[in-house]
């Protein structure tokens, strides 16, 4: 049996919004797997901060300023990456925001802002890279989905709508471009320790755990939050030849949350 090909050697990977957090960890894993790594962030300050962090971690990367919701900027950045680095073989639509507001108190502008980053942007960026992937003979697109691609909860209506839509966009890209040897899959992280979830883990004044923190511990069979390290292997797998016959799949990396009714209080 031939060796299973998890290598990303010779591939160019663009991870959006990867100055820190999950995107940074995936960029690190891809560099370690042999890929040439590209990331973007919304402004020069953020990109410079990211470049410093990558240098600190001894990870070679190319950084670009690009707001993923800006169609013109995305198309120009995709073309620039292709000129300066190479055709994008692997795209990870990682950039995302969340606004935790009860729906009846949320403005339509706030709702649209979340949809813009978490759903419209993966469409815009994927559309910018697919033509060159087709010319090159194939590619990998990985969309950062969520527990909220499957579940709702209070205060995250916009985010759940976006991530549910992103699940179906993933399946549709797989359906429409699978014939061009493009595999489009999603990763659905559980609750991961990053800046995005920091408010849900803040210690209370009496030093006790945040109620939501305790809730997630009870909802997770592993009785812990995930870390960005937990996402590295799944991300490399979905970017590698080892997953060439997987398409339209959302790989939940959630410690078992979706399978578990939760620990009895």
Q: Which residues are catalytic?
A: 159
Give the nearest distance from C-beta 196 to ligand GCO in angstroms: 5
d(CA 93, CA 164): 15
Q: Are 62 and 84 in contact (CB under 8 A)?
A: yes
Residues 111-140, one symbol each (x = binds ligand NAP by CB under 6 A, - = not), give: ------x-----------------------
Give the nearest distance from C-beta 164 to ligand NAP in angstroms: 12
Q: Are 18 and 39 in contact (CB under 8 A)?
A: yes
The 8-class DSSP code of residue 224 comes to: S
Residues 20-49, one symbol each (x = binds ligand NAP by CB under 6 A, - = not), give: xxxx----------------xxx---x---
Residue ranges in contact with ligand GCO by CB under 6 A: 98, 100, 146-148, 153, 156, 159, 189-191, 196-197, 200
Residues 191-230, one symbol each (x = binds ligand NAP by CB under 6 A, - = not), give: xx-xxxx---------------------------------
Q: Are 184 and 134 in contact (CB under 8 A)?
A: no
Residue 19 makes contact with ligand NAP by CB under 6 A: yes
Half-sphere exposure of 140 (CA within 13 A, CB side): 27
Q: Which does 100 bind (CB under 5 to 8 A by kind): ligand GCO, ligand NAP, none?
A: ligand GCO
Give the nearest distance from C-beta 255 to ligand GCO in angstroms: 11
Residues with Cβ < 8 Å from 49, sequence gap 6 or more? 19, 20, 41
Give the nearest distance from C-beta 251 to ligand GCO in angstroms: 13
The number of beta carbons lying within 10 Å of the beta carbon of residue 141 is 27
The 8-class DSSP code of residue 92 comes to: E
Within 53-82, which residues bind ligand NAP (CB under 6 A)?
67-69
Tokens 């994927």 sit at which residue? 126
d(CA 116, CA 105): 19
Q: Which does 68 bind (CB under 5 to 8 A by kind): ligand GCO, ligand NAP, none?
A: ligand NAP
Q: Are 191 and 231 in contact (CB under 8 A)?
A: no
Residues near ligand NAP (CB under 6 A) are 17, 19-23, 40-42, 46, 67-69, 94-97, 117, 144, 146, 189, 191-192, 194-197
């Amino acid at each position: 049996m031939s060796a299973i090909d998890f290598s990303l050697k010779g591939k160019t990977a663009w991870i959006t919004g990867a100055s820190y957090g999950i995107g940074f960890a995936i960029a690190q894993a891809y560099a370690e797997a042999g890929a040439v790594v590209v990331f973007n962030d919304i402004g020069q300050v953020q990109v410079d901060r990211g470049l410093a962090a990558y240098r600190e971690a001894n990870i070679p990367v190319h950084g670009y300023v690009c707001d993923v919701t800006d169609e013109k900027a995305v198309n120009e950045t995709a073309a620039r990456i292709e000129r300066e680095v190479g055709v994008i073989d692997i795209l990870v639509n990682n950039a995302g925001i969340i606004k935790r507001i009860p729906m009846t108190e949320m403005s339509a502008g706030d709702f649209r802002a979340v949809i813009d980053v978490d759903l419209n942007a993966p469409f815009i960026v994927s559309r910018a890279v697919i033509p060159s992937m087709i010319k090159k003979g194939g590619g990998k697109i990985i969309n950062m989905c969520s527990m909220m691609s499957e579940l709702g909860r209070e205060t995250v209506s916009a985010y759940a709508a976006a991530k549910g839509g992103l699940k179906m966009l993933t399946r549709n890209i797989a359906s429409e471009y699978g014939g061009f040897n493009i595999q489009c899959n999603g990763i659905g992280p559980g609750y991961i320790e990053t800046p995005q979830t920091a408010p849900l883990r803040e210690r209370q004044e009496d030093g006790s755990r945040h109620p939501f923190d305790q809730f997630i511990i009870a909802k997770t069979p592993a009785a812990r939050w995930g870390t960005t390290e937990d996402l590295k292997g799944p991300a490399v797998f979905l970017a590698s030849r080892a997953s060439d016959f997987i398409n339209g799949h959302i790989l939940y990396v959630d410690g078992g949350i979706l399978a578990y009714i939760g620990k009895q209080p």
